[in-house]
A and B are shown apart, each in its own frame.
Chain A
Amino acid sequence: MSVKYIPVQWNKFKYLYDAVILAGIMGFLWVFVTLTPGILGYDPAINPQILNMRAFGACAFFLMTFILLIGPLARLDARFMPLLYNRRHMGVLTCFVAYSHASFVIGWYFSFSPIDKYVAVLGTNTAYGQLLGFPFESLGIFALLCLTILAATSHDFWLKFLTPRIWKALHYLIYPAYVAVVAHVGLGALQNQQNQTFGILVVLGAGSVVILHLLAARHERTVSDPAAGAGATETWERICAAGDIEEGRAKVARLANGDRVAVFRHDGKLSAIANACAHQNGPLGEGRILDCLVTCPWHGFQYDVTNGRSPAPFTEKVPTYNIRLNDGIVEVDPEANPPGTPVEPLVINAEAGR
């Protein structure tokens, strides 16, 4: 950001978003704690500590599943984009729910012995060489550590301090954390066969995550960010026909060096900037231009497409690219200009622009 930091940048939409998440969590826990014991008829009956532990554990699993579904859903269908907007708050709440689960586990299973309860968690079962009876608690501890890192670095300060590249790489920890949680649940709760409902829901949830991520990856390569072709000269790369770019919109392409470029058309002229927003690397090329400013569809950061700079008082900058027309085909120099470098927009002639 380019204004003074504050603890949380609230707005009306974020209040609504967080209220819905909180209501969802409270509703899930209430249903789990008050209704499921009667329906499932636990035999032998379980005490409130174990019931709370299961409720918070199940809640954390489904929250993580939902969070991991948002990204691919938004990639596949723009109508899910609003869910992305405040996903970080959902992640922080998930971390709190997971800590509640862990505190019930430690408070019930590891607290009534002379051994320190944290030493007991780590040292009671060390049978790492076998699958049956594997110390699945360690998988949960790993996932909790990942969630802690993600939640603790969720403030915008960390994005600027670490750079979006490192921050995003750090937040890729959500994927190993989720695999660890699936294993934690699979080698733990799913070994109990009293009721199959939870097992079915886990398979459906984790299966949806896998399928949607594969579909989103395929969509990105074939539809939204196709590879650029070879240009007329060795170094330049071919994007598309100038006439294929709608007014106020962009075409995105993957360059040979792996970077993504977004070529915008505004007032009959073309400009190219990096597709990655300086905030969280959101896809700028999926945004729309208003008054020469493209708005990132993820969090609303804006950039002038002719120089890659955010309007004052903001100071974010993205790299720009030199472009040219060759027989009506847009070509890009893959060597990006330094962030914020002005590039004269390319006028499309009547023949090429159709």
Chain B
Amino acid sequence: MTGAETLVLLIQIWGAIGAVVALGFLTVGLGQIDEDARGAVTFRPLLVPGILVLWPLVLWRWWVLATGRDQWPLRHAPPRRSHRTVALIMAVLIPLTLLTAFSIRQDWPADIAPVQLEEGAPQ
């Protein structure tokens, strides 16, 4: 099995586990941990893609809320203070990326004779 095949298989397994978690969470867990969800059914299918992708996070938050471990003060500690760091990182990475991209462009004349770089695999 190649690396790419293994990766595709792992993604399928991840999605399958997510589907089982989605089934349990949307039918049993949701109503237990969120009073606003009780009796609200039509919005539940919208949550399926998020659960498929983030099922470990969903299981963790489900456990935290169901066992009363949620810490309300942490709800008000926004990560906005990180914005400056993010802006600085982007200011380095984006120009660097574009400079690299433009510098490796092969802008030879269109009529240059082709050159074989290496031998191809035997047919």
- Which residues of A are interface residues toward B (Cβ below 8 A)? 1-7, 116, 118-123, 126, 131-132, 145, 148-149, 151-153, 155, 157-158, 160-166, 168-169, 172, 175, 178-179, 182-183, 185-187, 190-191, 193, 199, 202-203, 206-207, 209-210, 213-214, 216-217, 220-221, 254, 258-260, 274, 276, 278, 281, 317-319, 336, 338-339
**Selected A-B contacts with CB under 8 Å, 19 pairs:** A6-B43, A122-B3, A122-B4, A131-B100, A152-B49, A158-B50, A162-B57, A165-B76, A172-B82, A175-B86, A179-B90, A179-B94, A210-B91, A216-B87, A220-B84, A274-B76, A276-B76, A319-B76, A338-B73
A116 close to B79 (CB less than 8 A): no
Q: How far is A163 from B100 in the complex, measured between Cα atoms in Å?
A: 39
Of the candidates A5, A6, A149, A338, the one whose C-beta lies within 8 Å of that of B53 is: A149
**For B61, what are the chain A residues with a Cβ–Cβ distance below 8 Å?**
161-162, 166
Of the candidates B47, B73, B90, the one whose C-beta lies within 8 Å of that of A319 is: B73
User: Number of B residues contacting the other chain (C-beta, 8 Å)?
Assistant: 57
A7 close to B36 (CB less than 8 A): no
B54 close to A161 (CB less than 8 A): no
Q: How far is A278 from B73 in the complex, measured between Cα atoms in Å?
A: 11
Q: How far is A187 from B105 in the complex, measured between Cα atoms in Å?
A: 9
Q: How far is A191 from B106 in the complex, measured between Cα atoms in Å?
A: 8
**For B77, what are the chain A residues with a Cβ–Cβ distance below 8 Å?**
165, 259
Q: How far is A171 from B5 in the complex, measured between Cα atoms in Å?
A: 30
B94 close to A169 (CB less than 8 A): no
Q: How far is A206 from B33 in the complex, measured between Cα atoms in Å?
A: 42
Chain B residue at smallest Cβ distance from A68: B90
B4 close to A119 (CB less than 8 A): yes
A182 close to B46 (CB less than 8 A): no
Query: Per-residue 0/1 for B80-123: is the Cβ within 8 Å of any A Cβ (1 yes, 0 no)?
Result: 11111011111101110110111011110000000000000000
A123 close to B2 (CB less than 8 A): yes
The distance from the CB of B16 to the nearest CB of chain A, in whole angstroms, is 15
Chain A residue at smallest Cβ distance from B97: A183
Chain B residue at smallest Cβ distance from A133: B104
Nearest 3 interchain pairs by C-beta: A186-B101, A123-B4, A281-B78
The distance from the CB of A74 to the nearest CB of chain B, in whole angstroms, is 13
A3 close to B101 (CB less than 8 A): no
Of the candidates B2, B74, B90, B102, the one whose C-beta lies within 8 Å of that of A213 is: B90
Q: How far is A165 from B79 in the complex, measured between Cα atoms in Å?
A: 6
**For A169, what are the chain B residues with a Cβ–Cβ distance below 8 Å?**
79
Q: How far is A86 from B65 in the complex, measured between Cα atoms in Å?
A: 29
Query: Per-residue 0/1 for B23-45: is the Cβ within 8 Å of any A Cβ (1 yes, 0 no)?
Result: 00000000001101111101100
Q: How far is A3 from B106 in the complex, measured between Cα atoms in Å?
A: 59
The distance from the CB of B58 to the nearest CB of chain A, in whole angstroms, is 8
Also in contact, A132 and B104, with CB within 8 A (given A119-B2, A338-B72, A339-B72)? yes
A157 close to B97 (CB less than 8 A): no
A202 close to B84 (CB less than 8 A): no
B75 close to A165 (CB less than 8 A): yes
Of the candidates B5, B43, B74, B100, the one whose C-beta lies within 8 Å of that of A119 is: B5
Chain B residue at smallest Cβ distance from A161: B61
A213 close to B86 (CB less than 8 A): yes
